[in-house]
Amino acid sequence: MEGSKKAAVMKRLEKYNMTRFQTSVLRATLDIPKGEVRTYKQIAAKIGHPKAYRAVGSALKENPLAPTIPCHRVVKSSGELGNYSGRGGKKGKRRLLEIEGYIIKKNR
DNA sequence: CAACACAAAGTAG
DNA sequence: CTACTTTGTGTTG
């Protein structure tokens, strides 16, 4: 059953005036399996812009389907969380990752 | 042109 | 390790 939730989300994206870059970033982010994380660099590479990791961040930050797209699963290459526009900022991001099963360091 | 949810390599301590 | 600098990229203002 969870085969095609992505298609439904992508359909919604079509209503927004987003650039190809943003749509590609959101698609790649949406493709992240539960309990896993992706780096900005991996997302950029996946969409064909291996050096635009910075642009990836800009795209995610404006992400129109915020909680629908797992933007909290995107972290820095160093394994750190990085920033987050959602609720609670980085704190909420880390919290979501813990709930999903991603290993987090103890000390909050 | 400046700034940004980053990355990597460089210099300095 | 911390801290700063420079280069690179796409979007936004």
Which pLDDT tens digit goes with each residue over A9-53?
999 998 998 999 999 999 999 999 999 999 999 999 999 999 999
Q: At what angle do helices A40-47 and A20-30 cross, to 10 degrees?
A: 120
CA of A51 to C1' of B12 (A): 28
Of A13, A37, A71, A97, the catalytic one is A71
* The pairing of beta strand A74-75 with beta strand A38-39: parallel
Instruction: Give the angle subtended at the CA of A104 by the CAs of A99 and A105, to the nearest 5°.
Output: 140
Its pTM stands at 0.90
Give the architecture-level CATH label for domain A5-100. Answer: Orthogonal Bundle (1.10)
CA of A50 to C1' of C7 (A): 15
Name every residue whose Cβ is closer than 8 Å to that of residue A47 and which is 6 or more positions away in sequence. A21, A24, A25, A27, A28
Active site residue A85: no
